[in-house]
Structure 1
Amino acid sequence: MWIQLQGLPRFANIPFYSGTKRVMTLPTELLPITSPANGRFCTVDEHASAFSRNQLFGQGPMIDVTSNQIVAPFNATVKTISSSGDFMQLMAMGVSAAVTLTLMFGHGEHFQVHQALSRHVRDGDTVNKGQSLLTLNQALLRAGEPHQSRLSLFIQCPATLTWPTSGTATALDSIVFEEEQDKL
Structure 2
Amino acid sequence: MSLEQVRDDIEKEARARADEIRAEAEERADEIISAAEADAEEIKAARSEEVDAEIAQRREQALSSAKLEAKQQRLEARRDVLEEVYEEIEDALVDLDDETRERLTRSLIASAAEEFDDHDAVVVHGRADDEALIEGIIEEYDGFSVGDPTDCLGGVIVESETSRVRVNNTFDSMLDSVWDEHLKEVSAHLFEQ
Same fold (TM over 0.5): no
Question: Which structure shows the bigger proportion of residues in strand conformation?
Answer: 1
Asked which structure has the greater RCO (Cα within 8 Å, sep 6+), the reply is 1
Question: Which structure shows the bigger proportion of residues in helix conformation?
Answer: 2
Q: TM-score, normalised by structure 1?
A: 0.24
Max Rg structure: 2
Q: TM-score, normalised by structure 2?
A: 0.23
